[in-house]
Structure 1
Amino acid sequence: MTPSSSAPSTLALVPGKTGHQLTLPGTGANTETDTTRRYGDAPLFAHDSAITRAGDGYFTWLDHVWSAAGCTAPIRLHGQMHTVDTHTGAILATLPTSALPDGIIYKACGNRRATVCPSCAETYRRDAYHLVRSGLTGGKGTPESVSTHPAVFATFTAPTFGPVHTRHVRTHTCKDKTRCTCRPEPCHARRTIDTCPHGIRQACFARHELADQRIGQPLCLDCYDHDHHVVWNNHAGELWRRTKQTMERHLNRIARSRGLPRIRIAHGKAAEYQRRGAVHFHVLLRLDGLDSDDPTAVVPPPDGLTVDDLQNAVQHAATVTRFTTDEHEEKPGGWPITWGDQLDIRPLTLRGDNPVTDVMVAAYLAKYATKGTEITGHASRRLDHTSIEQHANRTGTHTERLIAACWDLGHPNHAGFDGLRRWAHMLGFGGHFFTKARRYSTTFAALRAARVHYRRAQDTGNDYAPDAFHRQPDLDDETTLIIGDLTYAGSGWKTTGDALLANTAAAQAREYTRAGREELAFEQACSSSTPLAA
């Protein structure tokens, strides 16, 4: 099948019909013209195209698309690939994509959001997990001595912009808070019930369940400060930068008073949306020493500083760090940017009775690295003048008012606030959902390079070299280089049947890997356990 085939793409710009019917491509789904398919044949389209694909050449096609097999909407590329001699620059061979199955190359989209592409998001989550954990235990290019460094796990929250419905559990007895069944406290219990200027009662005696849609919604939409909310989201990244600077300065003052050398803090940070639409940060903070001869080295901190000093520094920084934004015609004095009163700081350990371990933190941060605004009930791509009216309304729901505030305050005439319109679909927050300090641990690029090295070793029948992380990104000192002269041909699988077969094969492979991992873990647990006395 060539790129000019009449088979349509599966990625729609506008969703098609759903429900009891088969999901159909919507408007703009095709990068090629479909001249043969009739609407009445749609329910049979996936079945027929899957049978056709599963005929001769299926396994050759599956090998060709395997790197993107689990992707929801892979990128299709066509053109030529040149094999070049790295010493002379001469082109040794040229392979056109027309000689490959389907006449194109499939590349996974690489989206980190689980709601957009679960397969690519799972790859990102696993990379984030190893990146976080290697900064606590060592490995993958990070010295194992980091396991002895003082470390804490802190959660920084946004301030209040008005009372909202909450589910507060005073003492959790459950192990998994995402499925918490503990009895919550009354939402907003009051001895005297007052009403706001809009006549809304400022009290709520309900004990909200996790699935209650009222959680995160303001008691009074008109009293809630939506403008301050989105501006805080937009400046949360700058607030964190200043907070970390304050921590390091505070600890270095302590070190200086004790006659100790300078230190620095390495961190890994994940952003998470609360139900009300405000972001808060989960941060892993590790105390490192500073080698004056080699600033890039990761060395232990001086013995005179402990995890208690690190906790005090975090508490101090979260309390004193604050600033005011630039002036805006809606707020001539600017908005104050500070942290909320809820601050959670817990020391980390690799073992022992401490409930917060390196594995838990790594899994926790990696999980939130693949999420976005879904918890608020809003999920859209970047908004513009043609789509903003579908999502923004100053007198609508809580989320609609937040988006409208972003659009209104981010008018191009307001210097310093133009980012609000760019990130209106993210309720003003424009930062990365997962970030780390430069010297905290390895990088996503190194993890991707090691994965490529592993796949090349599989293709050639060689053993994977564990020292791949210590090599350059090109992995090997090869004498030839593959250069692609490729252009965009479309997005999505060419047929719904292709998507069905590729995704099913990838899901089976993931299940096989998961089962093998569980079996190995079970065998290891059995071999390390102490036999019971007779």
Structure 2
Amino acid sequence: MSTPLTLYRPGLAAGRDAQALHRGATPEFSGWLEHTRPAGGCARPIRLTGTIVAVDAGTGRITSRLHTDELPDQALYKACGNRRESQCPDCAWVYQGDAYQVVRCGLTGGKGVPPSVGRHPIVFATFTAPSFGAVHHRRVPRHTCAARQRCDCRPAPCRARSSAGTCPHGQPAACFARHDADDPRLGQPLCLDCYDHGHQVVWNYFSGELWRRTKQAIDRHLAALCRRRDIPFVRVVTASGKVRWVPPVRVSHGKVAEMQRRAAVHFHVLLRLDGVDPDDPDALVPPPTGITADDLEEAVHAAASQITVTTPPHLDQPHGWLIAWGEQVDVRHINSASGELTDAKVAAYLAKYATKATEATGHQSTRLTPATIDDYADPEGDHTARLIDACWHLGRPIHTNATGGAGTAGDRQDSLDSKPNVYGGLRRWAHMLGFGGHFLTKARRYSVTFGLLRDTRATYRRTEDDEPAGTISVGTLTYIGSGWLTEGDALLANTAARQRRESRRIGREELAHEAWLGVAA
């Protein structure tokens, strides 16, 4: 096989070169490359050991048995499946493809979702966090660029103030710089001491509850609108035989969280109007003609301006924190006459952000512990260090009595038994700057699931590998480690994976070109 020869080039580390050449020179190299194919491209594959048996699905009889000691490297390789592009680009590429299908099927149908959903009213809303203090930002008053991703338009001054002096801590309250898109000052507070880091991490922590209540308010607004317009409610019989009268419209959503440079999350949400079928409540049917996308947009703005959450009392904030949306709530229509937002663009946009987390803030770490927290948290440090310190400080164990005092030992035990610290999760999610939700979520009826896509891919692989029909593989496996055994192995497996991916891409392009030629003819 010629793969090792194509890999060798000047500039590679000598040790890695030697490892790759040594592996490629062995007679078992082709078998090893095929064995590692399921994990090829993964940055840190999982290595498993144990027994794999093939069972006849009809009789339950074991037809074959294989121990991993008989396999190359005496282990089974499995891709890590990490969705974060900064951690594993290859697994994130697979996740991004699945995320694209999940979002796109909810817009156009397919994979079990009826294509009629493409005619349902749908809007794309962006919910942002409020201000917790002045930060450096880049604002372009008028775009003249062809693509916002490569915007080179002249920005306005950051925070031009003719009468601004200094803040109470002596820092300038104005900034006249015209920041470039890659300026490291973007998202950084003008004054770190004026910025409310504690409120921001609490906002990140409770943003999921704020969204849940906002979604409920949107549904209620549309239900009230149906009553005012005399659109009849739908009679539905539940599985238990009870009769319910439900609103004739419901909203299905797909949501992606994005971390801003200031380390506050905001949500990009697709909201689709569906109707209700009295004979099959789970069916996806169009909404009644009396409700339009404009009504959905009005419901979004009304809910975003009215819904707030007051968090439970905290020793540092006895009355809790107010959690509300920022003033900038942007709502746009999908597939409108302007053509600015199409289903393909929105699906690709959301799928891209589904593979990111805190990278925009410059912070990347695994879950923090008492042994590692001092490496990242600092109450006198930079913006990110203060946010992590706020998470750790506010999430500390707090034992209070009913009056808010320190309490006796018995009071503290009663508090532990009946009222757990709702802020304790801030320590668990300190590495995520307080946000503990999933970065891609959806309503049950919106689209297909990730599980269905993975099962379809696994079925295809079994068919591709000529696995006998009616045979089930059962593994009794144990984790033995992560990562490739050598850097040379990683180079060989990842390069082979890239070559396979490139050949598939070229094949898809060739098939698309042939189909276009057939239509043109």
TM-score by length of 2: 0.88
Task: Give 1:309's aligned residue.
Answer: 295
Deviations 1:98-142 (A, max 9, x none): 111221110000000000000000000001001100111011010
Partners in 1 of 2:364 and 2:427 — Cα distance? 16
Partner of 1:26: none
Structure 2 residue aligned with 1:49? 19
Is 1:408 the counterpart of 2:393? The answer is: yes
The residue matched to 1:54 in structure 2 has which SS? helix
Look up the SS of the partner of 2:478 in the other structure: strand
Alignment match, 2:198 = 227
Q: Counterpart in 2 of 1:467?
A: none
Task: Give me the whole-angstrom Cα distance separating, in 1, the residues matched to 2:149 and 2:450.
Answer: 28
Q: 3-state SS of the aligned residue for 1:300?
A: coil
Q: Does 1:442 align with 2:427?
A: no
Give yes or no for contact 2:123–2:293 (8 Å, CA) kept in 1: yes
Q: Match of 2:506, SS?
A: helix
1:367 to 352, 363, 382: 352
Q: Which amino acid aligns with 2:177?
A: A
Cα contact 2:127–2:329 (8 A) shared by 1: yes
Work out the CA distance in 1 between the residues paired with 2:324 and 2:504: 45
Q: Tell whether the 8 Å contact from 2:210 to 2:323 is kept in structure 1 after alignment.
A: yes
Q: Which residue of the partner structure matches residue 292 of structure 1?
A: 278
In structure 2, what is the equivalent of residue 452 of structure 1? 458
Aligned with 1:424 (options 419, 426, 430): 430
Aligned counterparts of 1:519 and 1:401: Cα–Cα separation in 2:
53
- Pair 1:495-2:481 in alignment: no
How many Å apart are 1:459 and its aligned residue?
Answer: 2.1
Q: Specify the code of the residue in structure 2 equivalent to 1:48.
A: A
The answer to whether structure 1 residue 338 and structure 2 residue 324 are counterparts is yes
Whether 2:136 is the aligned partner of 1:165: answer yes
1:113 paired to 2:84: yes
| Equivalent-residue separation in structure 2 for 1:369 and 1:165 (angstroms) | 25
Structure 1 residue 236 and structure 2 residue 207: aligned?
A: yes
Report the CA distance between 1:526 and its aligned residue: 6.4
Determine whether 1:358 maps to 2:358.
no
Q: Secondary structure at the match of 1:344?
A: strand
Cross-structure match for 2:167: 196
Aligned partner of 1:93 in structure 2 is 64
Aligned equivalents of 2:503 and 2:373: distance in 1?
Answer: 44
Structure 2 residue aligned with 1:271: 257
SS in 2 for 1:499: helix
Measured against aligned partners, the alpha-carbon deviations of 1:385-411 in whole angstroms (never above 9, x if no partner) come to 010000000010000000000000001
Q: 1:518 to 1:192 in 2, by over 3 A?
A: farther
CA–CA distance in structure 2, aligned partners of residues 73 and 136 of structure 1: 34
**Structure 2 partner of 1:381:** 366
Cα distance 1:210–1:321, how it changes in 2: closer, same or farther (>3 A)?
Answer: same
CA RMSD, 1 decimal? 1.9
Deviation at 1:501? 0.4
Q: How far 1:455 moved relative to its partner?
A: 1.6
Residues 504-513 or 395-404, more deviating = 504-513
Aligned pair in 2 of structure 1 residues 187, 527: CA closer, same or farther (>3 Å)?
A: farther
Query: Equivalent of 1:395, from 357, 362, 380?
Result: 380
- Cα 1:221–1:205 change in 2 (3 A) is same
Output one character per residue of 1:132-181: Cα deviation in whole Å (capped at 9) or x when no partner. 00111011010111001000001000000001000011222224323211
Task: State how far apart, in whole Å, the 2-side matches of 1:346 and 1:479 are.
Answer: 49
Q: TM-score, normalised by structure 1?
A: 0.86
Cα distance, 1:223 vs structure 2:
0.3
Question: SS at the partner of 2:332?
Answer: strand
- Relative to structure 1, the CA distance from residue 325 to residue 430 in structure 2 (aligned partners, 3 Å threshold; closer, same or farther) is same
Instruction: Choose 255-264 or 325-334, whichever is displaced more.
Output: 255-264
Say if 2:311 and 2:321, in contact at 8 Å, map to a contact too: yes
Corresponding position of 1:482: 473
**Alignment partners' CA distance in 2, 1:525 and 1:312:** 42
2:439 maps to 1:433: yes
After TM superposition, the structure 1 stretch with the greater mean CA deviation from structure 2, 452-461 or 201-210, is 452-461
Cα deviation 1:71-117 (Å, max 9, x = unaligned): 00000001101222334444332111111122111000000000000
Aligned to 1:15: none
Are the aligned partners of 2:315 and 2:398 in contact in 1 as well (CA < 8 Å)?
Answer: no
| Distance (whole Å) between structure 2 residues aligned to residue 21 and residue 219 of structure 1 | 43
Question: For structure 1, which segment, 72-81 or 47-56, has the greater mean C-alpha deviation from structure 2 after superposition?
Answer: 47-56
Q: Which amino acid in 2 is paired with 1:295?
A: P
Identify which of 483, 493, 496 aligns with 1:505: 496
* Preserved contact between residue 55 and residue 64 of structure 2 (Cα < 8 Å): yes
Q: Distance in 2 between matches of 1:460 and 1:92?
A: 16
User: Percent identity among equivalent residues?
Assistant: 57
Which consecutive residues of structure 1, in runs of 5 or more, have no partner in the other structure? 1-19, 23-42, 462-475
Look up the SS of the partner of 1:302 in the other structure: coil
TM-superposed CA distance for 1:511, in Å, is: 1.8
